Chain A
């Protein structure tokens, strides 16, 4: 009986967190690049718009061992990549994660991602008052050849 109540409380807490976050951060056009055999990493892209000032401070996905926000840029002909522990989401501004820029890097993929699959993600969003809420997103898997630049 105690166990059952415990589960109920957990479910309610999760639901409350995602409802409040849903109202705060809007996520559009989430997609992941499909992978081939042996490929253990890929990028996930989306548009984020936060109603209040906030930051994306973490990402989790059951399809990967870990997920991190990275930034990629081309410096002449050199591709440079770096981890972004906090991605600022200024109030009302659309922040775009796209090929050739910010992306969620899925690391240690458990299996190849095929076109048409769906990748569930939990985005950890921190408010100005340091409260972290979770936004759940499903990213559609597109072809491995989806253009690296603005589509």
Chain B
């Protein structure tokens, strides 16, 4: 019994000693959420996380009529991909709309690639959108505007980062997406 405890303690210490890489952004490795989605991309192709194995995937939730947070984050992610040079080709940015009512496939097809041609806009119906948001612990809620079609959408900001094996690893808070380049390099090296 004592031997077993000693072995267990040794394993624990070994486990801690071999701790993973350090990141600038919040390390959420092992989170039991944000594991999967099933949506459609802006070209009309059904997409799941597994389609992007081998790439670092950055998922951001937003909507096209968002005046500030969404375009800024997409512009920051564009700059991250550019900073990565060749490695940038192994990064896939996904913009998931929380406003499927107004953000049609056609609108996403114009908006999302305008930031960077490889970025993909993803959408689902109301039910798929709600399910995806729940899986990612994303809050979103319509706020009525001055006209019925003029509502805004309060939503969780921040970017979720997956490693090339499709495991959720990092969360970059709003305003921090621009710092992701070094972290993404680490993940691409198998960190």
* A99, B72: Cβ atoms closer than 8 Å: yes
A54 proximal to B (CB < 8 A): no
Closest Cβ of chain B to A73, distance in Å, is 10
A41-B139 contact, Cβ under 8 Å, with A78-B157, A145-B79: no
Given A79-B157, A82-B143, are A38 and B64 also a contact pair (CB < 8 Å)?
Answer: yes
Q: Are B110 and A144 in contact (CB under 8 A)?
A: no
- Kindly identify which residue among A36, A70, A80, A103 contacts B71, using a CB–CB cutoff of 8 Å: A36
List B114-146 residues whose CB lies under 8 Å from chain A.
114-115, 139, 143, 145-146
Closest-by-CB residue of A relative to B78 is A145
Is A6's beta carbon under 8 Å from chain B?
no
Report chain B residues within 8 Å CB of A41: 65-67
The answer to whether the Cβ of B76 comes within 8 Å of any Cβ in the partner chain is yes
Chain B, 147-169, contact with A by CB distance < 8 Å: what is the 0/1 string?
A: 00010101111100000000000
- Interface residue total, chain B, C-beta cutoff 8 A: 31
A38, A66, A143, A149: the one within 8 Å of B111 (CB): A38
Q: Tell me the nearest residue of chain A to B139, going by C-beta.
A: A78
The answer to whether A148 touches B72 (Cβ under 8 A) is yes
For A35, list chain B residues within 8 Å (CB): 71
- Contact string, B53-84, partner A, CB cutoff 8 A, digits 1/0? 00000000000111111011001101100000
Q: Which residues of A contact B (CB under 8 A)?
A: 33, 35-43, 66, 68, 70, 72, 74, 77-83, 99-100, 103, 105-107, 143-149
Residues of B within 8 A of A (CB): 64-69, 71-72, 75-76, 78-79, 107, 110-111, 114-115, 139, 143, 145-146, 150, 152, 154-158, 173-175
Q: Can you list 15 contacts pairing A with B, beta carbon distance less than 8 Å?
A: A37-B110, A37-B114, A41-B66, A79-B154, A79-B157, A79-B174, A81-B154, A82-B143, A82-B152, A100-B68, A105-B67, A107-B65, A144-B71, A144-B72, A144-B75
